[in-house]
Amino acid sequence: MDMCMIYPNTSKCSVSSMECFTVLSTQAEKISIATLCGLFGTLCILENSLVLYLIFSSSSTRRKPSYLFISSLALADILASIIFVCSFVNFHVFSETDVSKASFLLQLGGVTTSFSASLSSLLLTALDRYISISKPSAYKLLMTRRRAWIALGVLWVTCATIASLPLLGWNCCSLNSTCSELFPFVDANYLSSWVCFILVLLGWIIYAYAHVLWRAHQHVAYMEKHQEQVGKQTSRMRMDVLLAKTLVMVLTVLVLCWSPVLILMIYSIFARLSNPLRKVFAFCSTLCLLNSMVNPIIYALRSKELSSSLRRVFSQFRRQLKASEESPEVESTHQSSVIET
C-alpha cells in the first residue's frame, strides 16, 4: 500500500516522503503547469522590471512615497516569480524530491517572503491612498520619504522573519508534530498562523480600499451638485475617482487570485485533502503568480506618470531604431561621394 495513504497528515519527515507531495501524475498536467509558470513568470519579470525602470529613471516618481511602495511591490513580485517558478517547476514537473530539508525550507521561505512582501506592499499602497484621501492637507507631513523607507524596512524584515521560522525550527520534523498535507516538513500550526497573517493583511487592504471608494463616491456626488463651484478641485476629485477605479481593479484581482489558495489551505487544516483537491491546489498556486503579473499592468495603464514615462521610453526607442536604420544609408552615401571626388 502507498506510504502516502498509510501515514496521512503525520510527522513523516524522511526525504522519501516528499514524493507524496508530487501530485501531478500525467504528462499533460506537468506540461500545463510548466507552461503556466513559464508564461506568467516571464511576463511578471519583464513587466515588473519595466515598472522599476520607469520609477527610478524619473526623479519625480522615485522621490514620492507612493511610488516607493509600488517599487517594493514590483521587487517582491520579481523575486516571487523567480523563486516560485524555479522551485515549483523543479518539484512538481521534474520531480526533484531528493533535496534536503534545509534546502527545501529555504526555497519555501523565499517564496513565502516574496509573496508576503507583495501583499504587504499592497497594504502600504492602500494605507498611503487612505491617508491621502482622508487627510489631504496633512498628507505630505504624515507620509514622508523617511517614514516610507522605515515602513518598507519593517515590512521586509517582518516578512522574512515569519518566512524563516520553519527553517529556524518551527517545523514538524523538529517538533515531532503534525505536518501539513500541502507542504513537506511544514508544521500544521505554522501554516495556520501564516494563513491568519495573510487574512489580516487582506482584511486591512479591503478596509482601506473600501474607505477610499466611499470617499470617491462622496466626491462624485459633490461634483454633481456643485459643478459650477468646484473650480480647481475638479481635477483633483476626478483623479481620486480614477484612483478608486484602479483600487477596485487591484482588489478584484487580489481576491480572485488568492481566495482559492487560502480556502484550500484553511480546508486542509480541518480536514484531509483528496488527491484531486491537492492537484487543484497546485494549479491554483499559479494564480498567485498571475496576481504578480497583473499588478504592473494595472499600474501602467492607470498611473498617469508611469504611462507617460512608458510612452517616452517607447518614443526614444523608436527614434534610436530609426536612426540605426538610417545610419547605413548615410554611410553609403558618404562613401560614394568620396569615391566620386
Q: Is the residue at 33 inside a domain? A: yes
Reported as a single tens digit per residue, the pLDDT across 235-273 is 555 555 666 666 677 778 888 999 999 999 999 888 888
Neighbours of 290 (CB within 10 A): 17
Decide if pLDDT at 157 tops 80. Answer: yes
Per the structure, the complete domain to which residue 142 belongs is given by 25-226+238-308
Question: Residue 129, class by beta-carbon neighbours within 10 Å (0-12 exposed, 13-18 middle, 19+ buried)?
Answer: buried
Reported as a single tens digit per residue, the pLDDT across 48-96 is 999 999 888 888 888 889 899 999 999 999 999 999 999 988 888 887 7
* Pairwise CA distance, residues 81 & 100, whole Å: 22
Q: What is the mean pLDDT of the chain?
A: 82
Decide if pLDDT at 113 tops 90. Answer: yes
Q: Is the residue at 173 inside a domain? A: yes
* Pairwise CA distance, residues 162 & 190, whole Å: 10
Which pLDDT score, from 0 to 100, does residue 233 have?
53
pTM recorded for the entire structure = 0.83
Q: Is the residue at 123 inside a domain? A: yes
CA–CA distance from 235 to each of 211, 238, 301 (Å)? 20, 5, 19
Q: Is the residue at 282 inside a domain? A: yes
Q: Is the residue at 273 inside a domain? A: yes
> What are 269's three cell numbers?
487544516
Whether 44 contacts 78, CB under 8 Å: yes
Q: Give the domain CATH number at 80.
A: 1.20.1070.10
Q: Is the residue at 319 inside a domain? A: no
Number of domains in the chain: 1
Decide if pLDDT at 21 tops 70. Answer: yes
Average pLDDT over residues 165-175: 91
Which pLDDT score, from 0 to 100, does residue 18 have?
74
Which pLDDT score, from 0 to 100, does residue 337 have?
44
Q: Is the residue at 6 inside a domain? A: no
Maximum pairwise Cα distance, the chain:
92
Q: Is the residue at 264 inside a domain? A: yes
